Chains A and B, each alone.
Chain A
Amino acid sequence: MQRIVVVGGGVGGTLVANLIARRLGRQIDRGEVTLTVVDLLGEHVYQPGFMYIAMGNQRPEGLVRPERGLLDRRVRLEVGEVTRIDPEARLVELGNGERLAYDQLVLASGSRIVPELIDGLAEEAHHFYGPDHAQKLRDALDAFTGGRIVIGIAGMPYKCPPAPLEVAFLIEAELRERGLREKSEIHFCSPIGRAFTIESVSEMATPILAEKGIELHTFFNVESIDRDRHTVQTLEGEELGYDLLILVPPHRGAQFVIDSGLAPAPGGWLPTDKQTLQVAGHANVWALGDATDLPLSKAGSTAHFEAPVVAERVAAAVTGREPDPEKGTYTGKVMCFFEVGDGKGTLLQFDYDHPPKPPAPNRIWHLGKMVFNKAYWQTVPKGRV
C-alpha cells in the first residue's frame, strides 16, 4: 500500500489531490493507494477575494466553502493542525496526537502573516490579508474624509504581489468618485528600487501612478511605526506621516516546516527544485504554492500551474514509472489579472524564461478578473482549467 499525504487545503493542496485522484483512481478504489488531505479548518478560502472586501464589493461569506465539497470522493479529508513532519520516519504529526504515515508527501502549507515583526504594525496599519482585516480597512475607508493615505509593503516576499498597487489604484478611483481626491494625498511605498519586482510590470505601473497623482517612494523598508506621531520610519532613514496607513505585513512559511528542519528560519520557505518541485534532500517530498522558495509570485495562480507537475511526479513515484518529462516539469508559468482602477485591468502572464508583457489596461481584463472570481469554485480546485 502506498500512502500519499497532502498538507494544506488551499488552491495547491486541493487541486493536486484531485489531480492525483484522477490519475490513481483505480489504485485508490482497489485499496492499493490512500490519499489524504490534511487541512487546519476543513474550509477552502478564496483569498484573492479579500481585497474586494476592502474595496466594498465582496461579502466575506462568499469566499468560503467546505473543503470536502471540493475534493474528489476518493480523497480522505483530515481536519487538524500539522505540528511536525518527521521525514526520517515518514510521519506527519497532528496537534491531536495523531500520526499519519506517508510514502509521498506534498507540502501545500502556504504562507502566514506575521505583523508582530514590526512594532506598531498590528495596531496602526490596516491590511487586507484576511476577511476581518479587510473589513476593518473598508470601515476605515468609509470613515475617511481626506488626508494622507500611505500604502506600502512591510516585508518581502508576500502574497499576491500586484495587490498593493491594485489597492492604490482602486482607492484613488474611489476617492475621486466620492469627491475626496482633492483633499487627499496617496503615497505608494516599495521596498525595492521600483514600483514592482518585475521590471516590465513596473514600467507599465509607474506611469499610471504618475497619471493618478500617486507619489512613489522607492527603497522604503519599514522599520518602525510611531503610534503617537502617526509616522512610519524606514531603514533608509526616511519618515512619512499618515492619516490612514495600509501596510502588507511580513510573511513567513508555516512554522512546522521550520520546526521539522525542512525549511530554514526565519523565512520558512521550503527549498524547492524549480522544475521538479521536489523539496531539497527529500526524494519523496514535494512542495507547491506559497510554501516554496521559488522566485515567483506567491499567488494561487502559481499553485494552480504547479499542481499538475506535482501530481505527475507523485503518480509516477507511486506507480514506479518515470515521470513524463513534459507533464512533470514546471516552467514557472503564472498568470494573473491586475486591476488599475476605473473599471480597467491588465493581464500578467509569464514563466521562468519569459517576463510578462502586460497589454494596455482595458475593460476586458477587469471583467475577466470579475468572471474568474465567480467561476473559480467550479473550475480551478476541480482541475477543469
Chain B
Amino acid sequence: MLENASVSITRTIDARGSYCPGPLMELIRAIREGAVGDVIAVLSSDSGSKIDIPKWVEKAGHRLVEITSTEGYDTIVVEKLR
C-alpha cells in the first residue's frame, strides 16, 4: 500500500539511463548496505521499474513509500523495514 508519509530520504540512487534490472539491482545494493529505517529513493527512466521494484519490495518485506512520475522518469521511494 502506498503511503505519502512525510519521511525524509536517506539516500537517492540516480539509476536514470540504466535498464532493467539495473535500477532494482541498485536498490538491492542500497538495502544491503543501509540500516533499518533508511528511506531510499530510486530514480529510474526504465518503465519496468515501477512494476518490478514494488513486487520486490513486497516480497522482501520492506515498505513502498511512494511512486511519483516526472517527465521522463519515476521516483520510487522505499523504506528498509528489516
Contact = CB atoms under 8 A, between A and B. Distances in A.
Contact of B61 (A191, A199, A236): A236
A197 interface: yes
A221 interface: yes
Contact of A236 (B20, B21, B24, B60): B60
Contacts of A193: 24, 52, 55-56
12 contacts: A156-B21, A192-B20, A192-B24, A192-B52, A193-B56, A197-B21, A199-B48, A221-B28, A235-B28, A235-B31, A236-B60, A295-B19
A209 to B, nearest CB: 18
A295 B60 contact: no
Interface in B40-81: 48, 52, 55-56, 59-61
B59 A236 contact: yes
A199 B55 CA distance: 16
Contacts of B25: 156, 191
Contacts of A295: 18-19, 22
Contact of A191 (B21, B31, B48, B55): B21
Given A197-B21, A235-B31, A219 B55 contact: yes
Given A192-B52, A235-B28, A235-B31, A219 B59 contact: yes
A192 B61 CA distance: 15
Interface of B: 18-22, 24-25, 28, 31-32, 48, 52, 55-56, 59-61, 82
A249 B70 CA distance: 37
Interface string A231-243: 0000111000000
B60 A219 contact: yes
Contacts of A191: 21, 25, 28
A199 B61 CA distance: 25
By size class, the interface of chain A is 10 to 19
B28 to A, nearest CB: 6
A295 B16 CA distance: 12
A298 to B, nearest CB: 13
Contacts of B59: 219, 236
Nearest to B18: A295
Given A235-B28, A235-B31, A235-B32, A192 B21 contact: yes
A142 B82 CA distance: 41
Contacts of B48: 199
Nearest to A237: B61
Interface string A120-136: 00000000000000000
Contacts of A219: 55-56, 59-60
Nearest to B46: A295
A221 B31 CA distance: 12
A278 to B, nearest CB: 16
Contacts of A221: 28
Nearest to A197: B21
Can you list the 3 inter-chain pairs with the closest CB atoms, starting with the nearest? A295-B19, A236-B60, A192-B21
B7 to A, nearest CB: 22
A237 B48 CA distance: 24
A237 B59 CA distance: 9
Interface string A177-200: 000000000000001110001010
Contacts of B22: 295
A362 to B, nearest CB: 29
Nearest to A220: B59
Interface centre among B32, B56, B61 (most CB of A within 10 A): B56
Interface string A152-169: 000010000000000000
Contacts of A237: 60-61, 82
Interface in A83-118: none
Contacts of B19: 295
A297 B4 CA distance: 38
Interface centre among A197, A219, A237 (most CB of B within 10 A): A219
Contacts of B24: 192-193
